[in-house]
Amino acid sequence: MSKAFLIAAPWSNSGKTTVTLSLCRWFSNQGLNVQPFKCGPDYIDTIHHSTAARKPAVNLDVVMMPEEHVIRTFNNYQQGTDISIIEGVMGLFDGAVKDQGSSAAIAKLLDIPVILVVNASSMAYTIAPILHGLKTFDPEVQIAGVLFNFVKTESHYAFLKEACDTVGIPSLGYIPPNEEIAIPSRHLGLHIDKTFETIIEKAASHITSNISVSKLLESAKEINKIAREKAQVKTPSKTKTIAIAKDEAFSFTYIENLKWLESIGRIVYFSPIHDSQLPDADYIYLAGGYPELYLEKLSQNVSMCNQIRNAANLGVTIYAECGGMMYLGKMIIDEKGLAHSMVNIFDYSTSMENKKLSLGYRKVLFEGLEIWGHEFHYSKILNDQTNSSIGKVFTARDKEISTKIYTYKNVYASYIHLYWAALKPKDICI
């Protein structure tokens, strides 16, 4: 029988990602089949989770996805596993609007217990009223235990454990600080190499040596075997091919989006960095990623740029999001102000100079269709001569914003990472 728990925190920067990666790797090293999940729209943490668990991670998000889709997705992926580990997002009750889309919302929807990771480096018994508030604020959220992070001594931990005893929440141990297990900045590029592997292995050993894994498993919920739901999947067409960019520069995808594409056609992958030949395809998907880290290579691959531009001119359907959208512009300007030519389907350029973060959920309304996604980027658009955008874009608070969806013939490009896996193929006429 499978077990499941959700790792959350009272606030960000508590160490929940490191704990999640460590537990995924430790359980995997024990020979268990571990299924990782991530609350929210994050497509970077899922890549790390997949590496740690040796199994693709899946997003669960009640803002971008209907609740029934979240439940169905969780049920489908947890089947046949030994343990499902869900990493939360931000603080426990932090959502797009109040607690909408929060870790707590996912825990309630799936009836999964929460393991809190608390950064207790500058705190002792004061954690008691904080834990009390988290426990009583929403009784439907089951806080099953606490892991205290960045705790150096047993004497410090004694105060924290007393706080748990007072509040009535089990303490599962403490984790001493260790600079050797710090995860590299998630916005410097995803270099999943031997160094990263070493960090994960060290983290798995360090964290599990200082906490009670047996108590943690006792706190987890047993998930009854639910019959796998039979999705209404369309048989892939042998005459339709979908070419998906996949390499160091383009890697931000949702696994369910890819499975949705597999249900309607034959998938082939290509690299805008390394390949000289664009596959023959009816549709081209350019996902987001880190094109700004590979500008010279992307620019030098003139053959690929020309072929993608020619495909656009011939009417091939192309969908590009964020990094893919930047690639389809005239040029990308790096942090030093150097310009690198790109595909040049659109007249705009994008720049990494004077970086400023833009992020948030996005609701797109287009020809009667409502579809949700997420915007996350540091670049900005320059020389944008486009006066209009297809559809309208709103925040989670229903405020219309200026984020555009660009079109040229059958090319569609935007900063927004859309989640279309909950839609039916006929809804978007692909």
Rounded Cα distance, 174 and 116, in Å? 12
d(CA 89, CA 51): 19
Tokens found for residue 121: 């480096």
Q: Burial, 28: exposed, middle or buried (Cβ in 10 Å; 0-12, 13-18, 19+)?
A: buried
The angle that helices 16-29 and 45-53 make with each other, rounded to 10 degrees, is 20
- Identity of the residue numbered 395: T
279 neighbors 270 (Cβ within 8 angstroms): yes
Q: Is 372 exposed, middle or buried (0-12, 13-18, 19+ CB in 10 A)?
A: buried
The 411-414 sheet, strands edge to edge: 266-270, 241-245, 283-286, 317-321, 411-414, 405-408
Show the tokens assigned to 81.
Answer: 């596993």
Cα distances from 255 to residues 9, 30, 177, 211, 258, in angstroms, run 25, 26, 34, 32, 5
Q: Which residue has the tokens 């659109």?
A: 346
* DSSP sequence for 249-287: SEEE--HHHHHHHHTTSEEEEE-TTT-SSPPP-SEEEE-
Structure tokens at 357: 């973060």
One-letter amino acid at 246 equals K
Catalytic site residue from 24, 305, 322, 429: 322
- Annotated catalytic residue 322: yes
Residue 141 to residue 113: CA distance in whole angstroms: 7
Give me 172's structure tokens.
């599962």
**C-alpha dist (Å) from residue 186 to 48, 182, 189, 191:** 9, 11, 7, 10
Residues counted in the chain = 430
C-alpha 293/C-alpha 397 separation (Å) is 33
- Which two structure tokens, joined as six digits, stand for 370? 């409502």
Active-site amino acid positions: 322
